[in-house]
């Protein structure tokens, strides 16, 4: 029986999913593939003969109901919407070193502005982290 793995079909999250599958040893990607690998061009080893199925990201949580799907790579936004907690329910979870972390940025000429400093201080607080954990069912990862 061929095991199917559901992954998001948009380029960024597809690449992110393939890199995670490689990190845990399920597939091997071409050397030097970068952050946007593709299933058909860049998977060079698939020792478990997984069939990688690309779906729209919002469909991934529902794919878990399909007996054909053995695994699904679901980002925190969609996982939390169905009550999954990445830290508790995830088999494999990205860490804070992931190159896909979301960034809040400012221009170089604005980096020392008082309002930016206050924002950074507020954002990097336990209160914001706890609120994010509540929204994402414990799936927030501190990036600071």
Domains by residue range for the chain, with CATH: 4-99 (3.40.190.10)
Chain segment 102-139, per-residue pLDDT in tens: 667 778 888 898 888 888 888 889 998 888 888 777 77
Q: Coil, helix or strand for 71?
A: strand
Model pTM score: 0.73
> Rounded distance, CA 143 to CA 89, Å?
21
Chain segment 19-69, per-residue pLDDT in tens: 999 999 999 999 998 888 888 899 999 999 999 999 999 999 999 999 999
Other CB atoms within 10 A of residue 22 CB = 17
Task: Pull the structure tokens for residue 105.
Answer: 């940025």
pLDDT tier, 100 (very low <50, low <70, confident <90, very high otherwise):
low
What integer is the mean pLDDT of 14-23? 92
Q: Tell me, what's the pLDDT at 103?
A: 61
């Amino acid at each position: 029986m061929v095991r199917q793995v559901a992954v998001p079909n948009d380029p960024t999250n597809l690449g992110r999913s393939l890199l995670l599958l490689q990190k845990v040893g399920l597939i091997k990607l071409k050397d030097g593939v970068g952050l946007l690998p593709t299933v058909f061009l860049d998977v060079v080893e698939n020792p478990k003969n997984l069939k990688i199925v690309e779906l729209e990201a919002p469909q991934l949580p529902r794919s878990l109901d399909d007996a054909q799907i053995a695994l699904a790579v679901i980002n925190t936004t969609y996982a939390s919407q169905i009550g999954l907690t990445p830290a508790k329910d995830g088999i494999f979870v990205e860490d804070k070193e992931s190159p896909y972390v979301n960034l809040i940025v400012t221009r170089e000429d604005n980096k020392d502005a008082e309002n930016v400093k206050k924002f950074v201080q507020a954002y990097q607080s336990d209160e914001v982290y706890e609120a994010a954990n509540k929204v994402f069912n414990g799936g927030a990862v501190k990036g600071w």
